[in-house]
Amino acid sequence: MATTTDAAEPRELLTVNMGPQHPSTHGVLRLELTLDGEVVVKCRPVIGYLHTGIEKTFEAKTYVQGVVLTDRMDYLNPLGNNLAYALSIEKLMSCDIPPRATVLRVLLAELTRLASHLMFVGSVALDLGASSPFLYCWREREKILDFFEGISGVRMMTSFIRPGGLARDIEPPLLAQISTFIDAMPAYIDSYEGLLTGNPIFRERTEGIGLLPADEALALGVTGPALRGSGVALDIRKANPYCGYETYDFDVPTGTVGDCFDRYLVRVAEMRESVKLCRQTLDSLPSGAVQTSDRKVMPPPRAELAKSMEAVIHHFKLWTEGIRPPAGEAYVGVESPRGELGFYIVSDGTGRPIRVHERAPSFANLQALPRITEGGVVADVVACIASLDPIMGEVDR
């Protein structure tokens, strides 16, 4: 406890802990709050409770084994993590990816974005006391996870996007189910907005709360919906396209005020854009392979193993010794549901990287939390945390 003195009378400041188990914090985040009554004078995020040494672990794994580590950095964006990691390795290898695999990667990335934003919309409502939207959003999220299970056998940590393409193709019946879901999704989004966007209580809890000016957001390295909510139309899919995003028709929603409500509106609008992108991928999906023919990256097809001893040897060496990119370094950034996500990979020419570092959007975005909470009241801290949508697994690493 500290004391400050002004001209009128001394004021007593109270230091309290929020977390590390507070249900609003979307992970194991602790905040040290200095309060003057109900007003937040200082907010200090304390991180590290989920530190796993995951970046160091990459150095003991082959490049393909590293895919399973990427899933777990951001549990709401596992396929997006796979994609960023695979693109960096493919840049090192100068590896071409078949068109069908590239289009399917976009479909999977946008379905993952939808699932993540569904969690955001439901949880931000729940954090502020509205339970019904969470149940409705969870209903659609479950359908997306069912698709992932049908594709890979796993609901969340799919490890499905691999260096060189995909683990396997997606069968036509499952693509038809995804198409039906995508057609129905706009009406579901309308229903979420009907519950929240015009809700006077929700608006009172979010409008004018957690203001983040555009210049300060840029100075802090904030990206994704948190930055676009402040009016900056920066989206990696447009600014530095990958996977053919430049060929798709979609908009980059932005806010005007930079408060919690704008960050909510941007994510809802992005859900509609993801639906548009999914529809375009399904309508333009070419036939063909989903794995590169470069045998330095992908093993021979299973059918060849029964006919060719060379194929068996190649398969064995690739899976035991791993991919061997030439010595060098590469970085590729993608647009995750939380902002710019990228992997910086350094190769020494062996089957294991000597350095893997993730540019994690949650880590950068969390720096804005003191800015948007200080000067406000303690009851609004929960809304501010929720509006940034941090995932602590990629903050701590």
Could you tell me where the DSSP H helices lie in the chain? 54-57, 67-71, 78-93, 99-127, 132-152, 172-196, 200-206, 214-219, 225-228, 236-239, 260-284, 302-305, 309-321, 361-366, 369-373, 381-388, 392-396
Angle at 378 between CA 132 and CA 23, to 5 degrees: 45
Q: How far apart are CA 273 and CA 285, in angstroms?
A: 18
| pTM of structure | 0.91
pLDDT in tens, the chain (397 residues): 455 545 556 678 888 888 766 554 566 888 899 999 999 999 999 988 888 889 999 999 999 999 999 998 888 999 999 999 999 999 999 999 999 999 999 999 999 999 999 999 998 988 888 889 999 999 999 999 999 999 999 999 999 999 999 999 999 999 999 999 999 999 999 999 999 999 999 999 999 999 999 999 999 999 999 999 999 999 999 999 999 999 999 999 999 999 999 999 999 999 999 999 999 999 999 999 999 988 788 888 878 888 888 888 888 888 888 889 999 999 999 999 999 999 999 999 999 999 999 999 999 999 999 999 999 999 899 999 999 988 888 888 7
Query: In sequence order, what are the beta bridge partners of 31?
Result: 18, 45
Q: Which CATH architecture has domain 55-396?
A: Orthogonal Bundle (1.10)
The sign of the torsion formed by the CA atoms of 190, 192, 194, 196 equals negative
Region class of 11: left (phi > 0), else alpha (psi between -120 and 50), else beta? beta
